[in-house]
Copies of this chain bind each other. A is one copy, B any other.
């Protein structure tokens, strides 16, 4: 009765991969066959077959030997496992360039695959407060706390400057938000129960930069 984590604890990697499987599965919805095998997904994504089986097992969806998994059943299982069925509402703070981009993504449903939906934005800049951006109203930051409590919002997205990030995060915690997606380049100091994900966008670029250096060096050596 005490410990009851249905299966195993999902690893971060597994969650990311499940998202990819889902993406592929959704794109295959117009195919004739209603079955998709792990082998098929493996070929499509270049991920090891066994790994895919492992990941799929997490969702509790069982496949049939020789045929594979029922596509729609699997879609449902992954969506359920990733909590995409019952959407969580989110607040975004910082209606600058990146905030705008995220609101556009939100409007185009790109985040629907994550189970999170932005329902309001906040800023302190009078030029944007009161406006609607991609269908989402921008309120003054001072209203966030009350609105969050009133609407039971649990997720916050920070797209402010690094200087304001800590302050905004503190406000969010006060407002009862427990999951924070931080795009500002700063190490936030938060209570341990808060779920913090740093977007760290640029780390991808840094990796490319490093690899490029290796590759260019190798080429010049070989020549």
Residues of A bordering B, CB below 8 Å = 4, 10, 12, 15-16, 19-20, 23-24, 44-45, 81-84, 88, 96-98, 100-101, 104-105, 110-111, 113-116, 154-155, 178-181, 185, 187, 193, 195, 197-213, 215-216, 221
Contacts and interface: CB of A to CB of B under 8 A. Distances in A.
A111 B202 contact: yes
Chain B CB within 10 Å, residue with most, of A88, A101, A114, A205: A205
A211 to B, nearest CB: 5
A104 B178 CA distance: 29
Q: How many copies does the complex hold?
A: 2
A136 B83 CA distance: 40
Q: What are the 3 closest A-B residue pairs judged by CB atoms, nearest first?
A: A114-B205, A97-B101, A197-B204
B202 A114 contact: yes
Given A97-B100, A100-B100, A101-B101, A181 B210 contact: no
Contact of A83 (B98, B195, B204, B209): B209
A207 B15 contact: yes
A212 B178 contact: yes
